[in-house]
């Protein structure tokens, strides 16, 4: 669940979250692993979760529950009628 006290994920954090969803590690996500770790740490804080896996599950939950994209900018659901 996205905590309102924190800003929405940045575009780069959203990109990192997609890499996490694909199971990538910090050295694969960024040339400097510490940079990736910083983005991941920020995401975990913003999503109020402790584990990388939990962060990716928040994305899945957002997609399945079709939360408004303003709440989680990464999610863009096309509703086909």
- The overall average pLDDT reported for the chain is 77
Percent residues over pLDDT 70 in the chain? 73
- Walk me through the domains of the chain, giving residue ranges and CATH numbers: 11-65 (1.10.10)
Instruction: Report how far residue 75's alpha carbon sits from residue 21's, in angstroms, rounded to the nearest whole number.
Output: 13
* 56-62 contacts, C-beta under 8 A, 24 or more apart: 56/17, 56/20, 56/21, 58/1, 58/2, 59/17, 59/21
Q: Is the pLDDT of residue 9 over 80?
A: yes
CB atoms within 10 A of CB 56: 20
In tens, the pLDDT along 32-66 reads 999 999 999 999 988 888 999 888 888 777 777 76
């Amino acid at each position: 669940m996205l905590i309102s006290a924190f800003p929405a994920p940045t575009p780069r954090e959203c990109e990192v979250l997609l890499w996490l969803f694909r199971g990538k590690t910090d050295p694969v996500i960024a040339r400097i692993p510490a940079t990736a770790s910083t983005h991941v740490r920020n995401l975990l804080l913003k999503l109020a979760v402790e584990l990388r896996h939990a962060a990716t599950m928040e994305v899945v939950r957002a997609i399945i529950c079709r939360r408004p994209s303003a709440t989680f900018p990464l999610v863009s659901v096309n509703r086909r009628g």
